[in-house]
Amino acid sequence: MSTVIKTRLVKIGNSHGVRIPKIVRDQVGLIDAIELEVQGTHLIVRSSSAPRALWATQFQRMAEQHDDALLDAEEPATLWDTTEWEWE
C-alpha cells in the first residue's frame, strides 16, 4: 500500500525538519531512532535497528546447538609465560 502525504519543511535553527503524521509513523513502525539515506533525489527514512538487539537470542541459539566453543585450542603455558610475563 502506498501512502502519499504532502507536508512542508519546518525550520529548526540552522536545520529543517519534517513532521511525520502519526498514521504514517505507525504504518512503517518508526521509533525514536531513525536512519536517513539519500538515493539520488530521494530521501529514505527508516527505523534504525538497535545494534546488538538480537545478540542474546543468537547467543542462546548458539549454546543450544553447541556452537559456542572456542575455535582455537587453548595451548599450555610456555616457559616465558610462567617466568617472564608480568602483569602491571
Per-residue pLDDT of the chain (88 residues; tens, 9 = 90+): 677 888 899 999 999 999 998 988 888 888 888 999 999 999 999 888 777 778 888 999 999 998 888 887 778 888 888 888 887 7
| First vs last C-alpha separation in the chain | 63
pLDDT at 1: 61
Q: What share of the chain is helix, strand, coil (3-state, %, to 5)?
A: 25, 25, 50
Q: Where are the domains of the chain?
A: 1-72
User: Is the pTM of the predicted complex or chain greater than 0.85?
Assistant: no
User: Which three three-digit cell numbers place residue 60?
Assistant: 542462546
Domain 1-72 sits in CATH at 2.10.260.10
